[in-house]
A and B are shown apart, each in its own frame.
Chain A
Amino acid sequence: MDFLNDIPWMLIAASIAKTLFLIFGVVLPIVSYTVYAERRVSALIQDRLGPNRTGFPISLFGFQKDLQLFLGGLGQPVADAMKFLLKEEFTPGHVNKFYFWLAPVLAMVPALSTLAVLPFGNFLFGQKMVVADVNVGILYVFAVASVGVYGIVLAGWSSNSKYPFLGSIRASSQMISYELSLGLSAVPVLMIIGNLNLSEAIQYQIDNGWLLLPFTDGKLTLRELLLWIPVLVSFIIFTISMFAETNRLPFDLPESETELVAGYHTEYSAMKFALFFLGEYAAMIAGSSIIVVLFLGGWHVPFLPINTLESSTTPSGIALGFLHITAFFAKVVGILIFFIWVRWTLPRFRFDQLMKLGWLYLFEIALVNIFITAAILAWVK
Chain B
Amino acid sequence: MSTEVQLLNVQIDGVWLQFPKGTKVIDACQQAGKFIPRYCYHPKLSVPGNCRMCLIEMGMPKMTPDRKPVLGPDGKPEIGWIPRPQISCAQDVSEGMGVRTDSPMVKECRQGVMEFLLINHPLDCPICDQAGECRLQEFSVEYGNAHSRFLERKVKKPKNVELGPRVTLDAERCVLCSRCIRFMKEVAHDDVLGFVDRGGFSTIACHPEKTLESNYSLNTVDICPVGALTSTDFRFKMRVWFLKETKSIDVNDGLGCNILIGSREGHIYRITPRENNDVNGNWIPDSHRLNFKVLQDGSRLLHPTVDSKKSTWPEAVAAAHSQLKAASKLAMVVSARLTNEELYLAKRLASALHITLHDVLPRVGEPDGILIPADRNPNTAGARLLGATTETPGSQLKDILTGVRNGTITGILSLGEDLLECGFTHDDLAKLKALVATSILPNATTAAAHVVLPGAAFAEKRGSMININGRLQRLNKAFEPAGECRDDWEILSDLLSATGQTHALHSVEDVFRSMSQDVPAFEGLNLGKIGDLGLQLLTKPEAATA
A and B: direct contact (Cβ < 8 Å)?
no
Which residues of A come within 8 Å of B, CB atoms?
A: none
Which residues of B come within 8 Å of A, CB atoms?
A: none
